[in-house]
Amino acid sequence: MINDKEALFSKFLDYLQSEQAPPEYLGEPPKSSDSFDPYQMVAEWIALRHEMKQQGKLMRSTQDVLQQALEVTRTDKEQLQTRLEDSKKEALSQFEQQQEKLLQELLGIQDALDRACAYWQEELKALEVSSALKSKEQKSFWGKLRHLFTAKVVPAPETSASLRDISLSNQQGVELIRRSLLEVLRQRRVVPIEAHSQPFNPQIMYAVGRQESVDVAENTVIQEVVRGYLWGDRVLREAQVIVAARNKE
């Protein structure tokens, strides 16, 4: 087997050292040619192999560096994304806190308007009662007689009708402002809590007192001291209420 390889290698060397006629497409053969050195070819092959190994090692090293750089870039990207999300959450939380504070201040104005409306309604009721009593008194004999004498001495005061018109105008003006503010709050998802005559709900209500009552069931809201409001799904302000208690007797 070894002899066959040596013979084949000898034939290969003889072929390389022999002068072969060049093909027609190559044109004229070169004027001079270097002699073929098989040892040089082997040395060059070994050097080329060594160079390929070195290039392979360099390529693997470069690939490792690139892989590490990709990992660092991926880590930086994840950290940046996390910081962006945290910043967004923090900004949203600050905005919600500022908006909640503003809405609570508006609720104070709404409470004042509610009290003003209640006041003018009470004034209108009082004027109606006073007007009814005066009308009844003027129809009586003594009332007509007293009105006859007092009218000559005391100047006639402002009529109850004009007072009622003034009170009604004031009440309507305050009610208009109150409804406008309620609409502004509603557009921002702020709605009143319906508490009166409802079962007590500790999640949205705060009981400031209990009162015995036989007309309604126990733990039913019988009076709304301070109106509560919802802001979307959140409780912007609890309703302060008085609930019915069972009659101990």
Greater pLDDT, 40 or 132? 40
Query: What spatial distance separates the first Cα and last Cα of the chain, rounded to whole Å?
Result: 124
pLDDT one-digit tens code per residue, 101-114: 999 999 999 999 99
Q: What is the dihedral of CA 83, 88, 92, 95, to 10 degrees?
A: 90
What pLDDT, on the 0 to 100 scale, is given for residue 155?
43
CATH architecture assignment, domain 190-249? Roll (2.30)
CA pseudo-torsion sign 125, 127, 130, 136:
negative
At residue 209, what are phi and psi to the nearest 5 degrees? -175, 165
Res. 149: pLDDT tops 70: no
**CA gap 114, 175 in Å, rounded:** 8
**CA gap 192, 103 in Å, rounded:** 13
Tokens in use for 22? 């060049």
**pTM score over 0.85:** no
pLDDT (mean) for 57-65? 86
The angle at the Cα of 190, spanning 186 to 196, to the nearest 5 degrees, equals 105
What pLDDT, on the 0 to 100 scale, is given for residue 63?
87
What is the overall mean pLDDT for the chain? 80
Q: Which residue in this structure is represented by tokens 């799904």? A: 233
pLDDT (mean) for 41-68? 85
Per DSSP, the residues of 46-63 read: HHHHHHHHHHHHHHHHHH
Residue 221 CB neighbours (<10 A):
22
Q: Where are the domains of the chain?
A: 190-249
Q: What percent of the chain has pLDDT over 70?
A: 74
Q: What percent of the chain has pLDDT over 90?
A: 34
What pLDDT, on the 0 to 100 scale, is given for residue 152?
44
pLDDT (mean) for 90-100? 90
pLDDT one-digit tens code per residue, 208-223: 999 888 888 889 999 9
Res. 148: pLDDT tops 90: no
In angstroms and rounded to an integer, the radius of gyration of the C-alpha atoms of the chain is 52
CB 241 within 8 A of CB 204: no
What pLDDT, on the 0 to 100 scale, is given for residue 231?
93
pLDDT one-digit tens code per residue, 155-207: 444 555 677 888 888 888 889 999 999 999 999 999 999 998 899 999 999 99
29: pLDDT confidence band, cut at 50, 70 and 90? low
226-239 b/e (C-beta count within 10 Å ≥ 16 → b): ebbbbbeeeebbbb
